[in-house]
Amino acid sequence: MRRSRATRLRAALATTALAAAAATGAVLSMPEASAATGGADGYAAQNGGTTGGAGGQTVRATTGTQIHQALCSRASSSTPLVIEVEGTIDHGNTSKVSGGSCNTADDKIELKDISNVTLVGVGGGAVFDQLGIHVRNSSNIVIRNVTVRNVKKSGSPTSNGGDAIGMETDVHNVWVDHATLEASGGEAEGYDSLFDLKDNTRYVTLSYSVLRNSGRGGLVGHSDSDVSSSFVTYHHNLYQNIDSRAPLLRGGTAHTYDNYFVSLNKSGINSRVGAHVKVENNYFRDSKDVLGTFYTDELGYWQVSGNVYDNVTWSAEGAENHPAGPDPKSNTTVAIPYAYSLDPAACVPGVVTATAGAGKGLRVSDGSCSPQTPGPTPTSPAPTSPVPTSPTPTRPAGTNLSIGAGSDGSGKASGTSYGNVRDGNLSTYWSPAGSTGSVSIKWGSPTAVSTVGIRETAGTSGTIRSWRVVNGDTGAVLASGSGAGVVGFPRTTLGKITYEITGSAGTPQVAEFETYA
């Protein structure tokens, strides 16, 4: 009886879908061909392509504040930029930074109102711990080789509405590649989703990534009335121990191929509200209801081919429950506008396990089930200046040009003075009114400077975490980094130089702001 109802459902869906296909001109996908291994593919390669910050400056960041600093230090919000990230990024080292080329926040990595940016993990790895990545009103964004874990929407600390990576509001052309997105439970434990696309997010590819241990894998469209997001490719990803939404599709068009699904506990690919998805050469194992329309009678459509269903169980057809199985058949055709190469589904578990996720050397499949390493990897290029810098503790030779100069700042704590940073006395100091602030040295005539030395009082050494040195005449960032000390930069002639403290472990005390030619 269940098979009979499923057969009738598929016939009804097919009739509706064929009419929709005729109206939209849907045709079979174009012939397959090998895709480039080093750049964005799938839908992210359409609509002009996705290159991120390619061709722009490369900077290194070890804190969330430094990521925000790098965004805010650009000449404009569209200036190409590659941010290499190493270390653990968390709430303790992430704060809002202001500037004309950015729109950041304290409780997430905010890629908002920007374009042409690459965020890539390098070295020992980049882990965003309980801190989500938020893309809003932005375009041409690349996120690669990062781990985002345990982002919560309730409990403490919270970030990004509980999404590991979330995109919303007029976002287009984003490539997320070799990412590991993971939680430690579902909504009852305070987590929401791993990869959400909402409110007109289009031309996105998620490739060679791991999504695991979450109640919700991800969605396209935040409600049944949000059908504006579309054109999403999912390939060579591992979905493991996910309750549902792998993904949930509301309207739009998606393509999912060569993914490995293990332990989808309640449902998998949920196509609803008129969504169209091409599902090919995926491997489903030890899972339930891996494809269909679930939790609604607003039906979606699918084209299936080459998939393996290994120990997959199917529930009965019923109200708000419309599984594609136990013998999944296509009820539409989906036109795919790009070339791609398919691995046979039988080898997908092996090749995805060997390549997907952060820290895998950006290995990809060669299209014949064999992992290969594309070149160059993001660890190859050397960052260009200005680069976040660890200052040296030594004092430079020469005349301290701050002695006898003027000074001002953004604010000062009670009992401190801007003049205390240029009096040569290590027992007097300036403190900002809070944990961040700025102090400047200024001269009556243009003065050449190539080195500054920031000296904390003896009892507060190490309080200053992140900072940047700014040309007070032009606003250009001369250097940025973490920790007080001596830092050099290209010799610059200016009338005012500013030291901005953007992150600290308490209330900073700057005893001396030394400047040298």
Q: Which residues contact 502 (CB under 8 A, 6 or more apart)?
A: 65, 68, 69, 95, 97, 436, 466, 467, 468
**Interior angle at CA 198, CA 195 and CA 203, nearest 5:** 80
What kind and span of H or E run contains 6?
A: helix 2-24
* Pick from 357, 367, 368, 333: nearest CA to 41: 367
How far apart are alpha carbons 223 and 290 in whole angstroms?
A: 21
C-alpha span between 245 and 257 (Å, rounded): 16
- Residue linked to tokens 């961040």: 436
Closest among 312, 243, 313, 305 to 280, alpha carbons compared: 305
Look up residue 432 and give its two tokens: 């900002």
Q: How far apart are the first and last CA of the chain?
A: 87
Q: Are 323 and 6 in contact (CB under 8 A)?
A: yes
Q: Given 245, 250, 272, 363, which residue is catalytic?
A: 245
Q: Are 358 and 212 in contact (CB under 8 A)?
A: no
Handedness of CA 341, 347, 352, 354 (dihedral sign): negative
CA angle 279/281/287 to nearest 5° reads 75
DSSP 385-444: SS-EE--BSSPPSS--TTTT-EEEES---TT--GGGGGSS-TT--B--SSS-EEEEEEEE
Determine whether 285 is an active site residue. Answer: no
Q: d(Cα 348, Cα 281) in Å, to the nearest integer?
A: 8
CA distance 93 to 427: 28
Whole-angstrom distance, CA of residue 268 vs CA of residue 247: 7
Q: Which residues are catalytic?
A: 245
